[in-house]
Structures are given as structure tokens and as C-alpha cells.
Structure 1
Amino acid sequence: MKRRSFIKTTSLASGLLFVPSFIQAFENTLSSKFGYKRLVIVQLSGGNDGLNTVVPYRDDIYFKSRPNLGLKPEADLHLTDDLRLHPSLLPLKDLYDNGYLTIVNNVGYPNPNRSHFRAMDIWQTASDSDSYYQNGWLGRYLDAEGEHPYNAIEISENLSLALKGKELSGIAVKNPEMLYRLSQDPFLKRISKNFNDAHLNEHNLGYLYKTMITAESSAKYIHETNKIQSSKATYPKTDFGNQLKLIASFINSRLKTKVFYASLDGFDTHVNQLKVHNRLLSNYADSISTFVNDLKSQGTFDDTLILTFSEFGRRVKQNSGRGTDHGSANNLFVIGKHLKKPGVYNQLASLSNLDDNGDIKYEIDFRAIYTTVLNRWLDADTSKILKGSFKPLDFL
């Protein structure tokens, strides 16, 4: 294959150009500090409607604000005296009843931004709303604690800002087999073979070639290790279901990966929200439930924590298109076996005391969630990762 063809193919195919740092070897064992605890991040892209996810079914203001969208879930979705789950989230109720789910309400940050792209950048970089970072909070975790790009894997063709560090970034993998086949291209193999030659040292080896060599080693490791335990569970036949199935295969094969990143798109529900939201939440809940049971069957759920977030919530009042517009504070889900405070962590903020835009006021800074996960789950020094001090919460 000619060099130009190779570069074009690998740039567009399955994410071979996502490792910005040069690492000489991938075969060394991980240090003891990296352990085996795993964090799975699920991003609900578009701005999930938190009010119709965790429903204040006794609040008159909720129904007056949403004459066409207000939900009255059944009693078997009961969470507290005032809150119930969306009907499509019934598979999560079993997790809730078994103490595997914590729901944190009113999560946000000061001076919220309601642009999808900017709000997502804020969440992925853990920045203030008026600060701009070039690397993500998980990328900085890799810089501080990681050793290899495959310590953090995103199930995608492109790597999110969240996993991009200054010195070390994660790796994007949509199809491990395709990634491996591309990495075995003779052109790339020739580069790897000649890497230790005197004329191809670190100083004169081009950036592109360095990333190609790094990608080849990661692709080989993932390809060989993932064959140990492929998932036999029946997941929803959706892109999100396939993402979680691949993550389960990685986890059950004991890949030395600390962070996995998945996403479910489509939550920008400005028009005719009910049907779309039902479908999205059903996909999420069915896939998560299958994923948890898959991990349980292989004894890996004990060491896995799942965090689900969205870049913002929706406006309390429905719009003229029977949908909802961009909001701010929202709820998020934490799923795992070692939760200190399972259930509803805090009550929903009052709908009679909204901000000037008609949004729920935030109570918990999202970076306090990150602090809790980094410090109490991943045993990381947050001072090296988060800019600013945020008190951890006691759900872990």
C-alpha cells in the first residue's frame, strides 16, 4: 500500500490517529496502583430531559408546565414519596431495589451554557463555563496515572475530548478486528520493524509514524486479549447495545483498561418528545440491564462503576412543538455494587424556585461527582487532574 493511501485509510477508518504521545512498549505489566477497578462512562448526547426521567409525579407545577408531556408512571416505578422513574426505565428498577443505583439530582455548574458543543466541552474537560481547556478530565487522569493508551477506551470512531490528555490519550475503537487488520498493513509493519534503527530514532521519527507504531501495539494487545471472553448475552440490536456488548467483552476478557466511554445520541427533543424519549430511554435501560447481568455472570460487576450523564437538562416548561428546550441542571445515574448511599441521593430542587431562564437551579457541581469517582473509586490524586477543589460526595 502506498504511503498516501495508508494515511488516508487509517485517518478515516477506525481511529488509528488518536494517540498523541509516544510510548516505546505496550507489553509491560501495569503497576499495582492501576489495579482492576473500572469506570464506564455513558454520555446521553443532546441534553436528556431529567424531569421526564426522574418524574416529580405529585407536583402540580410539573403538570401545569407540561400539559402534553407530563407523565404519571405506575406505582412499581416508585422511588420516593415524590419521585418515580420514567416507564421506559423499568429495567433499572431492579437495580434500584437491589441497592445498585444512586440517582443524584440538580447537578450542574455556575453560569451554565446551553450550547450543545460548549456544554459538552465543559463536562468533558471539567472546566468553568468561561474557561477553555485543550484536554479532558479523563485524559488528565491518564497523564497522572496511566501507562498505555488502552488504559482508556472509547467505543467510537473518534476520540472525545474527555479522553485526550497532554502526554497520554485514550484510544477509540469501534471494530477491534478492523483496527487490528489495518494495523497489520505492510507499510506500518515496515515502520515498526525499522523503528530501532539508528536513523529512525525518537528525534527524527515523524509524529505520524510515532502514532502509527503506538496504534499498532494497542491494536495487537486489544485483538489478542479480547479473544479470551466474548459476550454471549443478548443485547438490544442497537448501536448503543453493541457498544456495551463490546465493553462487556473487554471487561470480561480482563483488558487492562480503567476507563470505558460509550454514548447514546438523540436527546435533543425539541419536537414531539414523548415517542422519541420513550425509545431512547428504553434502549438505555434495556442495554444497561443486560450489561450489568453480563458482568455479573462473569464476576466482573463487583469491580465496575457506571456513570451516566448528559450535557444539560431541559426547560421545565414544554414548548409549542410538544418538546422541551435546552435547560441546565439535571440528574445523573451512578450504578455499582459498592454504593454507600444507593437510592435517591438528594431531592429534586423546587419547581417553584427556578432560575431566570425557567430552569432548575443547580445544587451539586458536576466536578464534585468527578472528584468522588476519581478519589474513592479510581484512587487518583484529584489535585493533578481537576483544577480547583471540590468536596467529594458520600455515595461511594
Structure 2
Amino acid sequence: MTMNRRDFMRLSSLAGSGLMLKLNGIPLHTMEGNGLLHTIAKSSLNDRILVLIQLHGGNDGLNMVVPIDQYGDYYNHRPNIAIPSSGQRKYITLDSTLPDNKQVGLHPDMVGSKAMYDEGNMAIIQNVSYENMNGSHFRSRDVWYMGGDYDEYFSSGWMGRYLEHSYPNYPENYPNSIHPDPLAIEIGTGVSLAFHRSEGIPAGLSIQNPNAFYDLINSVGVDPPLNVPDSHAGKEIEYMLQIEKQSNNYAGRLKDVFNAGSNSATVYPDLYPFIAPGEALHNPLAPQLKIVSRLISGGIGTKIFMCRIGGFDTHANQVLNNNPSMGSHAALMYHISSAVKAFYDDLKNLGVADRVLTMTFSEFGRRVASNASYGTDHGNAAPMLIYGTCLNPGVYGENPNLQNLQNGNIPMQHDYRQVFSSVVKDWFQAPEAAIQEVKFENFIDNRVDYIQCKSLSTAELFKENLWLKCYPNPTAQSTTLSYYLHQAGMVQLEIKDVTGRKLATLLSKEQGAGQYALDFDLSRYQNGTYIFSLVYNYSTLLTQKVVLNK
């Protein structure tokens, strides 16, 4: 059968910007072998999932994470948009036990994030950027996506390079019985550079729900042309046909997984409860995360999801002119915080929260000084928020010095690759060869150490030879620490609060090989989350969180 114009146009719609679909009206893109997402998924020995939330437009990090120790300078730089330090709509003090240079206040509408921090499930990484940051939205996003320096121009992304290293023959023989699912799903419009390989074009299709996606994919199938020209156009046609063939399998699988999954009784937020422009009132992130949760509950093997929320390019009317704690940016802070909180509540109810790590990122922050239009212009460094149950919670880095700016901007303290390399190395446990292919090898040694659930290095005991468990958990009074040593060694047991502050040493002595149990009374402590740690021979660290609820 020859391909007529209508069939070709319908098939070409698959190739616009990534295999796109919509679940319950939310557009998604299925990365057909375009990134680190795929490689991690197929090579990883764990079942961990990464959810990226892109804050599209450049987020004002100073109004999201307020430097309390420098509030006077903060207010003087932006008096018309500064979050109040007193009153009902003042910033939320994150943690009064932190040092002064880490004392921060969350935006008053980030109640959900504060609750997650108190549970030990959130971390803040301060002042993230790259050297010689480019103020262009498009170029700066490309730098974050490609995993390079400001003056490098890669046609591939850091995720794509990981994929090419581990699966050079993809997409042949995919999907298959072992890997039936798309290994990365991007919710939004367009496939990011981060997922591109050195060669290959993405494909896209937009529909309304999994069943419609399945029906539409199966309606566009045609017999391939007998001869494809040996040209650039011919290669594009050949690739589109290949994607079309694979899409049939992915469509059926996505339909089945989505229908097999379900959300818990958790209510995902919709409307911002205070004053903001009409277009900012509805939460665009919550339905995306709700779909991700349902897909996970249905058994999908996808390793990385990327969500996107826009509206952060706040040159004007960032706040209400009579109340800087409300307005469009305030609504965005509420949408992120409340949606992520509901997402993790849902995941916990489904029993899969420990498998999911979530992080926010934006192409740049905003300038320290506000403008006369109640807004902020393009800046440099900004904080990233990390959410999950396997974190070392806290504030990483110090508050920016607002008396020592770079051309009115916050200087970089952490390179963005120091943050992403921890995902690759510690969360997904990638091998050294893959890290080098991604070009993150120069950032591994000084990566930000926010992942708690890491496997032990080869210089330490094997993971199965050393373990720590606490029961009952949650507890109303006491818990029993049970642990096993394969070899004799020096053992230290400690209890810490969620900020990492040591509260007590339970044990510090040499012990022989074998299983041990130690009862510990928590009744003198307040309700909350506590972290028990086991240090073996001064190097191996195992931790267990225990919730005290009297």
C-alpha cells in the first residue's frame, strides 16, 4: 500500500516533538530512547523512580526561600515584593535549630513543604546555577539539559549520552517482555534536549486519554513504503515508521497500566485559596502528579517522569501591589508545595513512596532587586527543592550574601551538575563508565550528598552483610533496633533529629559477628520523625527513620 497525504500527515504528527499523548487531558511525551532516563531504567538494579519538576520561566528563589539572617538587606532590595517578616502572612520559619547562615523562611503558601521537611522528607539546595550563566531562557535551559558548560554546544543531552553508552542499538527490539514500558515520560509540550541522543529525531502525538491514544495510534498504521530514499528525508521517514510501529505496543501497555492503577483517597489540590490573577488560580501540576502516581500504582516500569509548570517569568505583577504575599508567584508556590505534598501522601497510601525522588529546577533565578512593575528580571542562582523519603534532609549551602552580589545577582554556590550527579550516582547507582559518558565525572567527588539510601562502596561491607531495622515503627513509646554484622568491628548507634543534629549515642563499642537487638525508649522526645544511624568501623552508615506518635 502506498502512503497518501492524509496518512503521511497523521504519521508525521508522531514526529513533532516526542511521542506525545494525554492522560485525562494532560499531554505527555514518551521519550523513545532519548535519554539517561532510558539507560538508567534498563541498567539499574533498583526500582527507583525520579520525578523532575521544571519551573518554566526562571523562578524567583528569594521569595520562595527567604534568607532570614539577611532580612533587612532582602527587604531593602525589593521593598515592593518582599515577603513579610510578621503578621498572618509572614514567611514560614523552616527550622529554628539551623545555624544563622542557613536560617530560611518558606513562602507562606508552602505549608505542604514545611510539613514534608518536618517529616524528614525535604531538602533545599541553595544557589544552584552554572559558571557564566546565560540570561536567555532557551540557551540556559539547553545548558541544564545538555549537561555542559556555558560555552559548550552539545547536540545531545546528558540523559541521551547515558542512553547511547548503555544501549547503542536502541530502539531495536524495544519494547520487549523485560522492558514493556516507555522508559521516560515527559508531561508537557515538546521533548527536551536532555533526552536527545547524538542522532535520531523524536516523534509526537497528542490525544485526550490512554484509550483514545490507543485507538488513534492503531488508526494511523499503514504499510511501509517499499523503497525509502537514501537521503536525510528518507531517514526521517524511516525513523517515523519505526516509531509508529513501536507506538502501537506502548499505547496498549500504557492503556493497560493506567487502567490497572488507581489513586488513593488523597485529594489533590486545585484552586489557590487566596488572591491571584484568574489564570493562576488552578493548579496545573497536581493533575500531572496524580497521573504519575496512578501509573506507578499500575506497575509501570518507567524510571523518570518530567513534569512542567509555567508562569515563572515574572517581570511584572509578580505580587499584588497591596499584598506581596499573594499574587501569581504566590499561587505558583502553593501549587508546587500542595501538589507535591498530595503526591507523596498518595504514594505513601499506595505503599510506593520510598521508590520516588522528586526535584525542582529552573533555568535561572531572578535578580535580587525588584523592579517598579512589582516584578523581577532574569537573574542567576536559585534554590532547588528535593523531596522524598530517602533524603538527608536539611539546607545545603549557605544563604546568599546580599551585600556581595555579582552585577545584582546571586552568585553560584552549587553547579547544577553537582545536584544531578547525585541522582545518577547515588539514587540510580550508575556505574563509573556511564558517569564518564554523561560527562559528570568531574562532579562526582563534590556532589551534593542529599541521598540517604545509598549502597555501600566496594571498600565497605557488602550491603547484604550489614543491616539495621527498627520495630515497631511508627511507635508510641519505644522501638527495638535490630542489626546484623557479618564481621566483627567497631559499632556506633546514634539517634538524630530530622536536621541531622545528634540527640544521643546509644552504643559505641567493638562487637563480634552476629545479630543484635537494642531497646530504646523515645517517650522523653516530642512527636515527630527521628533517625537512627549505625556506623560500622567509622565508615559505613546505615540509617532508619522512626516516627514517634504518642
Task: Quote the residue 2:404 is aligned against.
Answer: 353
Equivalent-residue separation in structure 2 for 1:96 and 1:224 (angstroms)? 35
Q: Aligned pair 1:383/2:415, yes or no?
A: no
| 1:242-283 alpha-carbon deviations (Å, 9 max, x no partner) | 111111111121211111000000000111112110111111
Where does the alignment leave 5 or more consecutive residues of structure 1 unmatched?
Answer: 24-29
| 1:135-158 alpha-carbon deviations (Å, 9 max, x no partner) | 222223333446657111101242
Aligned length, in residue pairs: 381
Equivalent-residue separation in structure 1 for 2:120 and 2:31 (angstroms)? 40
Q: Find the partner of 2:198 among 153, 166, 182.
A: 166
- Opposite residue 56 of structure 1, the aligned amino acid is P
Whether the aligned pair in 2 keeps the contact of 1:142 and 1:169 (CA below 8 Å) is: no
- Opposite residue 77 of structure 2, the aligned amino acid is S
Q: Aligned pair 1:5/2:21, yes or no?
A: no
Q: Find the partner of 2:349 among 297, 302, 306.
A: 297
Query: Would the alpha carbon gap of residues 375 and 156 (structure 1) be closer, same or farther in structure 2, given more than 3 Å must change?
Result: same
Whether the aligned pair in 1 keeps the contact of 2:75 and 2:82 (CA below 8 Å) is: yes
Equivalent-residue separation in structure 2 for 1:100 and 1:166 (angstroms)? 37
- Opposite residue 250 of structure 1, the aligned amino acid is L
Task: Quote the residue 1:84 is aligned against.
Answer: 105
Where does the alignment leave 5 or more consecutive residues of structure 2 unmatched?
Answer: 21-28, 35-40, 175-180, 229-233, 271-282, 320-326, 452-550
What are the residue-to-residue correspondences of 1:193-212 with 2, within 5 Å?
Answer: 206-212=238-244
| 1:102-153 alpha-carbon deviations (Å, 9 max, x no partner) | 1000111111101111111111111211111112222233334466571111
Residue 346 of structure 1 and its aligned partner are, at CA, apart by 1.7
Q: Give the alignment's Cα RMSD to 1 decimal.
A: 3.0
Q: Which has the higher contact order (CA 8 A, sep 6+)?
A: 1
- Opposite residue 363 of structure 1, the aligned amino acid is Q
Q: Aligned pair 1:39/2:58, yes or no?
A: no
Query: Would the alpha carbon gap of residues 257 and 264 (structure 1) be closer, same or farther in structure 2, given more than 3 Å must change?
Result: same
Q: Find the partner of 1:234 among 244, 264, 267.
A: 267
- Opposite residue 264 of structure 1, the aligned amino acid is I
Query: Would the alpha carbon gap of residues 158 and 286 (structure 1) be closer, same or farther in structure 2, given more than 3 Å must change?
Result: same
User: Who wins on radius of gyration, i.e. which is larger?
Assistant: 2
Task: Quote the residue 2:184 is aligned against.
Answer: 152
Whether the aligned pair in 2 keeps the contact of 1:301 and 1:336 (CA below 8 Å) is: yes
Task: Quote the residue 2:133 is aligned against.
Answer: 112
Task: Quote the residue 2:505 is aligned against.
Answer: none
TM-score (norm 1): 0.87
Q: Find the partner of 1:225 among 257, 261, 268.
A: 257
Whether the aligned pair in 2 keeps the contact of 1:68 and 1:322 (CA below 8 Å) is: yes
Query: Would the alpha carbon gap of residues 129 and 217 (structure 1) be closer, same or farther in structure 2, given more than 3 Å must change?
Result: same
Looking at secondary structure, tell me which structure has more helix per residue: 1
What are the residue-to-residue correspondences of 1:54-133 with 2, within 5 Å?
Answer: 54-59=65-70, 60-72=72-84, 74=90, 76-79=92-95, 80=98, 81=100, 82-133=103-154
Q: Aligned pair 1:139/2:160, yes or no?
A: yes
Local SS of the residue matching 2:285: helix
Equivalent-residue separation in structure 1 for 2:401 and 2:389 (angstroms)? 30
| 1:38-69 alpha-carbon deviations (Å, 9 max, x no partner) | 00000001100000000113421111001111
- Opposite residue 282 of structure 1, the aligned amino acid is Y
| 1:178-211 alpha-carbon deviations (Å, 9 max, x no partner) | 32222111x41x44xx89xx989xx998222112
Equivalent-residue separation in structure 1 for 2:160 and 2:203 (angstroms)? 11
Query: Would the alpha carbon gap of residues 286 and 345 (structure 1) be closer, same or farther in structure 2, given more than 3 Å must change?
Result: same
What are the residue-to-residue correspondences of 1:245-324 with 2, within 5 Å?
Answer: 245-274=290-319, 275-324=327-376
Aligned-pair identity in percent equals: 33
Equivalent-residue separation in structure 1 for 2:201 and 2:30 (angstroms)? 6
Task: Quote the residue 2:26 is aligned against.
Answer: none
Whether the aligned pair in 1 keeps the contact of 2:13 and 2:204 (CA below 8 Å) is: no
Whether the aligned pair in 1 keeps the contact of 2:50 and 2:358 (CA below 8 Å) is: yes
Looking at secondary structure, tell me which structure has more strand per residue: 2
Whether the aligned pair in 1 keeps the contact of 2:11 and 2:240 (CA below 8 Å) is: no
TM-score (norm 2): 0.64
Query: Would the alpha carbon gap of residues 7 and 177 (structure 1) be closer, same or farther in structure 2, given more than 3 Å must change?
Result: farther
Whether the aligned pair in 2 keeps the contact of 1:154 and 1:170 (CA below 8 Å) is: no
Equivalent-residue separation in structure 1 for 2:93 and 2:294 (angstroms)? 31
Whether the aligned pair in 2 keeps the contact of 1:135 and 1:165 (CA below 8 Å) is: yes
Local SS of the residue matching 1:63: helix
Whether the aligned pair in 2 keeps the contact of 1:16 and 1:179 (CA below 8 Å) is: no
Equivalent-residue separation in structure 2 for 1:108 and 1:283 (angstroms)? 23
Query: Would the alpha carbon gap of residues 323 and 173 (structure 1) be closer, same or farther in structure 2, given more than 3 Å must change?
Result: same
Local SS of the residue matching 2:344: helix
Equivalent-residue separation in structure 2 for 1:199 and 1:129 (angstroms)? 43
